[in-house]
């Protein structure tokens, strides 16, 4: 089953701020299948029309209990001017 983060309308630009709390938890064997799970954790208005977005990212290895990577992904979204 594929779950998708719902798109947000009215966004003029998205800027990648990078990653925080990156943890490499398990090595990925050559040829292993992986998938990323991304969950939007928060959206906080920093200035009028600008949102700081936090996602958690988990990279899972097929058939393994422990994920390969866990991280927080930060971005800044600028809303369209509605004037």
**68/29 Cα distance (integer angstroms):** 10
pLDDT digits (tens, 9 = 90+) for 49-83: 899 999 999 999 999 999 999 999 999 999 888 66
Between residues 4 and 10, which one has the greater pLDDT? 10
Residue 68: how many other CB atoms lie within 10 Å: 19
The pTM for the full model equals 0.78
């Amino acid at each position: 089953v594929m779950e998708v983060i719902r798109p947000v309308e009215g966004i003029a630009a998205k800027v990648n701020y990078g990653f925080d709390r990156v943890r490499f938890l398990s090595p990925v064997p050559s040829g292993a299948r992986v998938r990323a799970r991304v969950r939007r954790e928060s959206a906080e208005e920093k200035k009028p029309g600008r949102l700081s977005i936090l996602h958690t990212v988990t990279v899972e290895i097929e058939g393994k209990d422990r994920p390969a990577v866990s991280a927080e992904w930060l971005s800044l979204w600028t809303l369209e001017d509605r004037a």
